[in-house]
Amino acid sequence: MAVYTDLGAAAMERLLGEYDVGALRSAKGIAEGVSNSNWLIETAQGRFILTMYERRIELGDLPYFLDLLDHLSAHDCPVPRTIHTKRGDSFVMVDGKAAALIEYLPGISPDRPSAEQAHNVGGALARMHLAGRDFEKTRPNTLGPQSWIDMLEECGVGGLSEIDPALPKMLTVARQTAERWPPDLPQSVIHSDLFPDNVLMLGERVSGMIDFYFACNDAMAYDLAVTHAAWSFDASDTAFDPAIGGALVEGYEAHRPLANAERKALPLLAQGACLRFIASRALDWIETPPGALVMRKDPMQFVRRLKFYAERGEKAFTPSPI
Ligand SMILES: Nc1ncnc2c1ncn2[C@@H]1O[C@H](COP(=O)(O)OP(=O)(O)O)[C@@H](O)[C@H]1O
Ligand SMILES: N[C@@H](CCOP(=O)(O)O)C(=O)O
């Protein structure tokens, strides 16, 4: 579940009163998600998402994330707009916590994406990268190569091996990958966490890309590699689906063809993407006590994907027509 804060009816009405969205009709907590509290809000004017920022988010980064939604939406990307208060603010403070009202977008996150859906997600990602190039705010990637090493070191060899005996080795792999990390690939705004649960779809069409709270300025090809690693494997992780991976890359390149250096870098970028999720999941695993309300995600899932990318190299990214 992801409603960490109990906002009573009066507090909710007061909060919504800051906005020009009409009278509050209902507010329902949303079960999905792990980081923030989310409510589906209905007012006389329609539906909205209210997000209260609970963990991992620096207040100083909120203008980047929330203005980015407006920028991308104004550039015809399927991204929800930020609703501003009557005073023009993009977020409000409630008992010391920041909260923002976001446009509601229809759609369902796919659990078994089709190749056509993957193709369209690749296209939406490329269009987002193109639209992000003239976004005036910047934010560094705080989850870049050094952070994987830092997070794994924070877990400690003992902590890692308690999760799985194969995990401590990832510290060496992270150091080696960081040393080989390509420094100068073309950059833009990247989502950097475009998992299926952060995409809403209506049939084959992408109706929404959400959860931009890891967005930053970094290599566009890295974002494609993250998305590839997040979408192209079946839930049991036993199989890579070349039709999904191929369609994703092909859909991306229909809008933004990759430069040779980007294409060559993809296998390493995908290994880095795996390390980023291995490290954050391992740290979350250690910091989240068993029995907590939040589901712990398995770091070993991305150890297996990392091995796949190391073995398969460029062949993992060969486009296959849908
Ligand atoms: N703009 C939106 N339109 C429709 N549903 C949304 C929107 N934003 C979030 N949601 C819903 O809320 C859930 C959790 O949102 P998310 O931003 O992914 O939370 P978290 O950061 O906690 O993972 C999503 O799975 C989706 O169902
Ligand atoms: N996609 C990440 C988890 C990020 O959490 P979120 O709740 O902010 O989407 C992973 O799978 O490890």
Main-chain dihedrals φ then ψ at residue 226, nearest 5 degrees: -60, -45
Residues of the chain within CATH 3.90.1200.10 domain(s) are: 115-317
User: Which of 38, 57, 69 to probe ligand 1 with, by most ligand atoms within 8 A of CB?
Assistant: 38
The binding-site residues of ligand 2, defined as CB within 6 angstroms of any ligand atom, are 33-35, 193, 195, 198, 211, 277, 280-281, 297
- CA dist 125 and 137 (Å) reads 19
CB 62 within 8 A of CB 36: no
Ligand 1 center–CA 61 separation, angstroms: 19
Which tokens go with 187?
């950059």
Q: What is the dotted CATH code of the domain comprising 115-317?
A: 3.90.1200.10
Residue 29, beta-bridge partner list: 39
9-103 under CATH 2.60.300.12, yes or no: no
Question: Is the CA virtual torsion 66, 67, 71, 73 positive or negative?
Answer: positive
Digit-by-digit pLDDT tens for the chain (322 residues) are 466 777 888 899 999 999 999 999 999 998 776 778 899 999 999 999 999 998 778 999 999 999 999 999 999 999 999 999 999 999 999 989 999 999 999 999 999 999 999 999 999 999 999 999 999 999 999 999 999 999 999 999 999 999 999 999 999 999 999 999 999 999 999 999 999 999 999 999 999 999 999 999 999 999 999 999 999 998 766 689 999 999 999 999 999 999 999 999 999 999 999 999 999 999 999 987 665 566 789 999 999 999 999 999 999 998 664 4
Q: How many CB atoms lie within 10 A of CB 236?
A: 7
Which tokens go with 20?
């020009």
- 219 Rama class: left (phi>0) / alpha (psi -120 to 50) / beta: beta
Long-range contacts of residues 89-92, Cβ cutoff 8 Å, at least 24 apart: 89/18, 90/62, 90/63, 90/66, 91/62, 91/66, 92/15, 92/18
- CA dist 57 and 66 (Å) reads 12
**pLDDT for residue 320:** 60
Main-chain dihedrals φ then ψ at residue 320, nearest 5 degrees: -125, 130
Q: How many CB atoms lie within 10 A of CB 97?
A: 17
- Quote the radius of gyration of the chain (alpha carbons, Å): 20
**pLDDT for residue 36:** 86
10: helix, strand or coil: helix
CA atoms within 13 A on the CB side of 177: 28
Q: Which atom of ligand 2 is nearest to the CA of 297?
A: 12
Residue nearest to atom 26 of ligand 1 (CA): 32
Question: Which ipTM score applies to this complex?
Answer: 0.95
Q: Which atom of ligand 1 is nearest to the CA of 105?
A: 3
Residue nearest to atom 25 of ligand 1 (CA): 32
What is the DSSP code (8-state) at residue 112? S
Main-chain dihedrals φ then ψ at residue 178, nearest 5 degrees: -60, -40
In the chain, the amino acid numbered 264 is K
**pLDDT for residue 294:** 66
Ligand 1 center–CA 111 separation, angstroms: 15
CA–CA distances in Å: residue 268 to residues 73, 89, 161, 174, 312: 31, 41, 25, 11, 11
Residues of the chain within CATH 3.30.200.20 domain(s) are: 9-103
